[in-house]
Amino acid sequence: MAPDQVAMLFGGILLFVVALGLLIYLVATQRPFKAVFFLFLVAIIMIGFPSIKSFKLPGTVVELNRSVAVPAETPRNVPSSEPTPFNKEKARLDEWRERLESTVNAHNSKCSRVTAGTSLDKECREEQAQLEAETSQYNAAVEAFNAEVLK
């Protein structure tokens, strides 16, 4: 999990506990408590943030970028100027990441305001599935590289 996702998770849990305490207090003191449910909604969204890929608004689907992993730096005892397997693989992963991010940005600008049910909507969904598959492949390659670097 990325640091921002961990922060959202812990922030959401904290907000949920605070909202629960506030709800108990308001019910015990017989005060109106309907507004507290908004805090629960925000807390649930924060906790579930890493798994939210898209959500629907009237007439459109909002897709969120999936995070793309970053390769670890090569070990300090490996000179960056030498063409070692670590340096070659890191350069390959860096290039792949740049290409993937460029493709994702182009897809998002093309498909951000597509009307549901149109032929462009179908095309965008197919592209989205391909991008998610490639992102998963890239993330797996980065995880393998990072594990090898940390050995």
The secondary structure of 23-88 as a DSSP string is HHHHHHTT---TTHHHHHHHHHHHHHGGG--EEEETTEEEEPPPP---PPPPPTTS-TTS--HHHH
Give the model's pLDDT for residue 65: 52
The ranges assigned to domains in the chain are: 1-52, 53-151
pTM of the model: 0.53
Q: What is the pLDDT of residues 21-41, one digit of tens each?
A: 999 999 999 999 898 999 998
